[in-house]
């Protein structure tokens, strides 16, 4: 497969172009010597991990991620085909997505422990419920991959099935059913739907979710916020919402959306700003997450 995701040298080139500075200027910005930048770009020397993070931050801050994602989409093999036919990529997709999505919600398992749980083995010093969350999420991703196809249309049964799988074995969470009472979110900036309003709100959400305009990525970002704002379930809303976003991105020919636990604070901040009507941060999160998705598709 053609290497179609940006490495650190390509990111530096994009940064230099976007900011309009020289290598010396970038060296001053990153507080390294010119020779260090020279070795990175011309000798293939890998920057220190801390400098890689700074390069990534500059890339996100100054480079138009929309253009990058569209370029990656044009160069990539069919993401659905890759995930269904390449076991190495599929296994990494399942492990990474399960670890990050559950960790965002407070699951304390390491990525290695998630892999152990996948094998049906007990994980020492971990709650049984955490291992169950891991295996449930794996099954939900398998259900997603078994269902997905180009221009796949999301309906209520699909969403309820995702929730039923995610919450399997946790009956008090009403697996596969909308909530019957209120929920409280500490950081929510606006009042959530009442239980009585949830079915109507979800009917409206589902009616609109499969209608895309030119800006597919912005639509996915808005839909993700809208789902989380409805918060239709007692628990599992974040995990199901991210699975819906992955379904959308794959169905429209893009890589899977991968929101990492490392970005949890930024992710919650983006949802909070969307509460106030500002969606730019949420759109940015989705673009960054798609770039990670293309990185994952290189896992051959």
What's the CA gap between 200 and 192, in Å, rounded?
A: 13
List, by residue range, all CATH 1.10.3290.10 domains of the chain: 64-296
Torsion angle in degrees (nearest 10) through CA of 103, 108, 110, 116 = -110
The predicted structure's pLDDT at residue 254: 97
CA-atom Rg of the chain in angstroms: 20
Contacts within 8 Å (CB) and 24+ apart, 282-286: 282/221, 282/222, 282/224, 282/225, 283/217, 283/218, 283/221, 284/60, 284/65, 285/221, 285/259, 286/217, 286/220, 286/221, 286/224, 286/245, 286/257
| Cβ atoms of 170 and 235 closer than 8 Å | yes
| Cβ atoms of 264 and 104 closer than 8 Å | yes
What's the CA gap between 38 and 60, in Å, rounded?
A: 22
Q: Answer whether residue 237 shows pLDDT above 70.
A: yes
pLDDT-derived band at 189 (thresholds 50, 70, 90) equals low
Q: If you search the block for the tokens 């959400």, which residue do you land on? A: 205
List, by residue range, all CATH 1.10.260 domains of the chain: 1-63
What's the CA gap between 294 and 300, in Å, rounded?
A: 12
> Which tens digits make up the pLDDT trace of 138-188?
999 999 999 999 999 999 999 999 999 999 998 778 999 999 998 877 666
- Spelled out in words, what is the top-level CATH class assigned to the domain 1-63? mainly alpha
- Spelled out in words, what is the top-level CATH class assigned to the domain 64-296? mainly alpha
- DSSP type of residue 231: -
Which residues are within 8 A (CB) of 200 and not within 5 positions of it... i.e. 6 or more apart?
none
Residue 146: both structure tokens together: 């078994």
The predicted structure's pLDDT at residue 1: 35
């Amino acid at each position: 497969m053609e290497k179609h995701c940006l490495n650190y040298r390509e990111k530096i080139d994009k940064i230099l172009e976007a900011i309009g500075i020289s290598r010396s200027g970038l060296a001053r910005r990153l507080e390294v010597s010119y020779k260090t930048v020279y070795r990175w770009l011309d000798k293939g020397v890998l920057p220190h991990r801390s400098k890689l993070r700074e390069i990534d931050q500059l890339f996100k801050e100054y480079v138009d991620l929309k253009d990058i994602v569209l370029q990656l989409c044009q160069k990539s093999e069919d993401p659905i085909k890759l995930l269904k036919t390449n076991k190495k990529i599929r296994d990494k997709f399942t492990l990474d997505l399960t670890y990050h999505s559950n960790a965002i919600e407070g699951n304390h398992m390491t990525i290695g422990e998630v892999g152990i749980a996948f094998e049906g083995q007990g994980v020492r010093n971990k709650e049984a419920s955490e291992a169950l969350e891991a295996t449930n999420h794996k099954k939900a991703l398998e259900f997603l991959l078994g269902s997905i196809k180009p221009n796949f249309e999301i309906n209520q049964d699909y969403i309820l099935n995702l929730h039923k799988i995610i919450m399997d074995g946790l009956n008090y969470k009403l697996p596969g059913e909308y909530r019957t009472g209120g929920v409280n979110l500490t950081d929510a900036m606006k009042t959530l739907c009442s239980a009585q309003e949830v079915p109507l709100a979800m009917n409206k959400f589902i009616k609109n979710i499969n209608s895309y305009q030119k800006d597919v990525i912005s639509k996915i970002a808005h839909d993700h916020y809208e789902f989380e704002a409805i918060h239709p379930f007692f628990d599992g809303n974040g995990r199901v919402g991210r699975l819906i976003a992955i379904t959308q991105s794959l169905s429209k020919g893009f890589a899977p959306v991968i929101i990492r636990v490392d970005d949890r604070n930024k992710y919650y901040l983006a949802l909070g700003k969307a509460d106030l009507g500002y969606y730019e941060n949420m759109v940015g999160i989705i673009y960054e997450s798609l770039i990670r998705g293309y990185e994952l598709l290189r896992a051959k």
